[in-house]
Chain A
């Protein structure tokens, strides 16, 4: 299989403009003859569904939540990047492009990332026009803050609720199209399969989560905007319902899965408090603008702290190790996420962790409060501080926050070309569900940017190019391929319900999560990965013989919903391990202990691994086949990432 990324010819800065001119258009009067399915209603899905409906296409939008407004984009806190250079501090499209490529440790496509930076400026305009209340200065103009991996202030924000405000903006645009009759909404509906007819995506099979009805929907194109798969780790900052099912079913129908091992571990999350933990809560990266990360200078002091003999505020300045500021003087606390996470792990591994489990470091606002007053800090981060206090019972204005890295985002995802189309014609993947823009590590405030770039400003053009070459006649849902897919879904449901097992779905999910975290988390080794692979194989076998899925299909059944998702996570987990094993280098969030610089930084191998790994499913219990898309860098020079 040859992977054609379809990157347009020409200089980097002109590629997108040229491409927009060269691709085919659908006449405005003919757009109503095409149906498009959008699965997922987060930033990518809602913006795509609204924009395509505005153009005149007939859209069906699906989400598993009770309303499109609940999609997990809503939880993004810190902000959204855009190369507006409103601060006059030297930002530009090229600098945002460069920071993103470098931040991704040179494992993303230049052309995609440049386009992302280019359209970033339009996103802010669009959101403001929708009535998104971004933070403003006293003069009435938009405010910015800085984020990790950048030395300019280019992050737009709405207190600590930027994702919420952007999603509600996209949701309002979507709602308007629902009112106009151009979008039909299907909430509480889960996509169970993609239907491929004659090699082209022709629709989906869904399950109504209230009635259990299995239904087919046909369309000329299918867009998967279904987010990331961080919940393979059980504990992550993802929502409880976030899952890989849509992407994974597409994968099993032939769509390639790219760079699945590239996982982002976010440095600032509230540490695990016990076995009951169901999810982890992020504390926005924006806090690192003012908070200082530290641990005690010695193990002995940490031990006293853990025993409760002293508190953080008793520790003298000279006994504090501000390890990020010490090791990375120029970026300090604002190093990229992978670097910050790894260093937190190192100091905790040395025994210098600060809570009962030994897996936490301090994020301290003492100096910021002294400098700027508590009032100003409250204005900036009030909701985050409140959330921290509610969860932990501690007041972060008085004692330093305790944080630890947690799984947050997955850079890997379905392989797509420049048009965001997977290798299955007519099947697209947008936002976190695809792999395209963040390489091996995503910079803060870039996920919102990518989701909205894909939905508002990329897909409306590129999907037209495909539809213009597609006949108006739609495949009917009576087609044998639809019937077959429906039957397979029903069979799988019966199979799950009929297993005479004893263990709950969560029992398996927790075990899978622990294997993934221990062996395919912040640090990975060949030995560990091999061990994990056999453990997952065993767990999968056990799942299919010993899971107990209660209730029936024809009802609201949350354990059946979970069982489907966990079954897919078990298969994905194994592929992530394969991918991590194949990549004999360290880059970004993928850290193989065998490959590091003497200072403990990620050691890339550009000669052998400057490629996208794209995996092809070939059959049940068979090893997946690896395809490589070489990454060509014509504009940036590959260097050892340095934030010192």
Chain B
């Protein structure tokens, strides 16, 4: 198939940036979206033009490195990561618009590459159980009901890609933050630091400049891993119960 690509080009994080149009032809429906961009980049390189920069690594839908806002949706039309999106989801002759994630907390570094280190800092604020290596109890010492373990897993499956932020009109990171808060709040291992964790992670999320949540559910609808907004409700509960007894007030 033949396609017209309308791609955001931006030299670096101070450049203003803008759209440029490219044509690609003979695209196979079996190609992944990123392989289609590889084809474009080979074309550009052969002409001596700077290739379109985009983040990607595992190309298996699990590392969370790929992003791309495709035709107004994070990761494109399917609820999957961009690397798992295939060209069979597009029509011959179509124009595809490709942008980076747009959020104040995710500054554009070049073209379609953004800086998502804010997510790392949210995890650093409390997204862990404070145990050192060694000296922990036997793995089967604390039984965990299968239902709880499965629910914790569902929250833990977040890949930290940032699609939730990109999808949200407020650029809120509530889905990302709540996934980690929920996972650890549900498990017995996470109980000790439960309140402190919710408080600290939310404070960091706010400090990074992410917006507030207005419950539109766009994050859940676009999350490639299907993380549920139930986690946000759970985090809100965690947060309220934490602040009423907080030592930080």
B190 within 8 A of A: yes
Contact B136 A129 (CB under 8 A): yes
CB nearest to A172 among chain B residues: B128
Q: Are A273 and B30 in contact (CB under 8 A)?
A: yes
CB within 8 Å for A67 and B189 given contacts A131-B184, A273-B30? no
Q: How many residues of A are counted as interface, with CB atoms below 8 angstroms from the partner's CB atoms?
A: 82
Closest to A67 in B: B120
| A178 CB contacts on chain B under 8 angstroms | 120, 124
Interface residues of A in 122-164 (CB under 8 A from B): 122, 124-142, 158-159, 161, 163-164
Give how many B residues have a beta carbon under 8 Å from the other chain's beta carbons: 76
CB neighbours (8 Å) of B49 from chain A are 550
Contact A66 B117 (CB under 8 A): yes
B residues in contact with A134, CB < 8 Å: 139, 149
Known contacts A124-B139, A125-B138, A141-B140, A550 near B51 by CB under 8 Å: yes
B128 touches A67 (CB 8 A): no
On whether the beta carbons of B60 and A387 are closer than 8 Å, the reply is yes
A285 and B5 alpha carbons, distance in the complex (Å): 38
- Is residue B61 contacting chain A, with contact meaning CB distance below 8 A? yes
**Which residues of the other chain, A, contact B34 by a CB distance below 8 angstroms?**
278
Chain A contacts with B in 51-96, Cβ cutoff 8 A: 51, 54, 65-72, 74-75, 84, 86
Q: Which residue of B lies closest to A281 (CB)?
A: B60
Q: Is there an interface contact between B120 and A175, defined as CB atoms closer than 8 Å? A: yes
The residue of chain B having its C-beta at the shortest distance from the C-beta of A178 within the complex is: B124
Question: Are B63 and A72 touching (Cβ within 8 A)?
Answer: yes
Inter-subunit contact B59/A239 (CB<8 Å): yes
How far is it, in angstroms, between the C-alpha of A19 and the C-alpha of B123 when the chains are bound? 37
Q: Is the CB of A278 within 8 A of B32?
A: yes
B115 located at the interface, meaning its Cβ lies under 8 Å from any Cβ of chain A in the complex: yes
Which listed residue, A67, A239, A277, A558, touches B53 by the CB 8 Å rule? A558
Known: A51-B133, A130-B128, A179-B125. A504 touches B139 (CB 8 A): no
* Residues of the A chain whose Cβ atoms lie less than 8 Å from the Cβ of B190: 131
Given A66-B65, A74-B62, verify A393-B134 contact (CB < 8 Å): no
Contact across chains for B64 and A172 when beta carbons are under 8 A apart: no
Name B86's contact: one of A66, A124, A277, A393 (CB within 8 Å): A393
Q: Are B64 and A70 in contact (CB under 8 A)?
A: yes
Q: Is A278's CB under 8 angstroms from B28's CB?
A: no
- Does A537 sit within 8 A of B, measured CB to CB? no
A interface footprint on B120-149 (CB within 8 Å = 1, 0 otherwise): 100111011111111011111011111001
Q: Is there a chain A Cβ closer than 8 Å to B92's Cβ? A: no
Chain A residues, CB < 8 A from B39: 276
Encode A162-189 as 1/0 by CB contact (under 8 A) with B: 0111001001110110110000010100
A241 in contact (CB, < 8 A): yes
Cα of A551 to Cα of B57 in the assembled complex, Å? 21
**Contact pick for B143, options A72, A140, A550, CB 8 Å:** A140
Tell yes or no: B21 within 8 A of A by CB.
no
Q: Does A457 contact B (CB under 8 A)?
A: yes
- By a CB distance below 8 angstroms, the chain B residues around A159 are 153
Is A460 interfacial (CB-CB < 8 Å)?
Answer: yes
Cβ of B133 and Cβ of A460 under 8 Å apart?
yes
Contact status A164-B128, CB under 8 Å: no
Residue from B62, B110, B123 within 8 A of A172 (CB atoms): B123
Inter-subunit contact A164/B149 (CB<8 Å): no
Contact of B50 (CB < 8 Å), options: A137, A239, A550: A550
A142-B139, A279-B59 known; A556+B109 contact, CB < 8 A: yes
Q: Which of B156-164, B166-174, B230-238 contacts A (4 or more CB under 8 A)?
A: B156-164
Nearest A residue to B27 via CB reads: A276
Contacts of B146 in A (CB 8 A): 136-138, 140
The complex places the Cα of A551 from the Cα of B11 at a distance, in Å, of: 11
Complex Cα distance, B42 from A551, in Å, reads 14
Contacts of A187 in B (CB 8 A): 117, 120
* Distance (whole angstroms) from the CB of B12 to the closest CB of chain A: 7
A50 to B55, CA, bound (A): 26
* Chain A residues with CB under 8 A of B84: 387, 390-391
Are B117 and A67 touching (Cβ within 8 A)? yes
Contact residues in B for A66 (Cβ distance below 8 Å): 55, 65, 115-117
Which residue of chain A has its CB nearest to the CB of B126?
A179
- A165-B62 Cα distance, complex, nearest whole Å: 11
Interface residue from B136, B144, B157 paired with A164 (Cβ < 8 Å): B157
The answer to whether B58 and A387 touch across the interface, beta carbons within 8 angstroms, is no
Task: With both chains docked as a complex, state the minimum distance between the C-beta of A273 and any C-beta of chain B, in angstroms.
Answer: 5
CB contacts (< 8 Å) of B227 on chain A: these are none
Given A70-B64, A140-B144, A391-B84, the answer on whether A172 and B127 have CB atoms closer than 8 Å is yes
- Evaluate contact between A165 and B156: CB separation under 8 angstroms: yes
A278 touching B136 by the CB < 8 A rule? Answer: no
Closest chain-A Cβ to B10's Cβ sits at a distance in Å of: 11
A136, B144: Cβ atoms closer than 8 Å:
yes
Is B242 an interface position by the 8 A CB rule? no
**Chain A residue at minimum C-beta to C-beta distance from B158:** A168
| C-alpha gap A239/B11 in the complex (Å) | 26
- Measured in the bound complex, the distance between the Cα atoms of B149 and A136 in whole Å is 7
Task: Say yes or no: A176 contacts B60, CB within 8 Å.
Answer: no
Contact A65 B134 (CB under 8 A): no
Residues in chain B near residue A132, CB distance under 8 A: 156
B239 at the interface (CB under 8 A from A): no
Give Cα A525 to B80, complex, Å.
43
Partner of A176, one of B38, B115, B128: B128
B157: chain A residues within 8 A (beta carbon): 161, 164
Q: Is A100 an interface residue (CB 8 A)?
A: no
A125, A237, A273, A502: the one within 8 Å of B139 (CB) = A125
> Told that A129-B189, A136-B144, A187-B120 touch, could you supply 15 new A-B pairs with CB distance under 8 A?
A69-B120, A74-B58, A122-B134, A129-B131, A131-B128, A131-B129, A131-B156, A175-B127, A240-B57, A274-B31, A276-B30, A278-B59, A282-B60, A387-B84, A456-B133
27 A-B Cβ contacts within 8 A? A54-B133, A66-B55, A69-B63, A70-B58, A84-B139, A128-B189, A129-B137, A130-B189, A131-B128, A131-B189, A135-B153, A136-B149, A140-B143, A140-B144, A164-B62, A172-B128, A172-B129, A179-B125, A239-B59, A276-B28, A281-B59, A390-B80, A504-B45, A550-B50, A550-B51, A556-B109, A559-B45
Closest 3 CB pairs of A and B: A140-B143, A172-B128, A129-B136
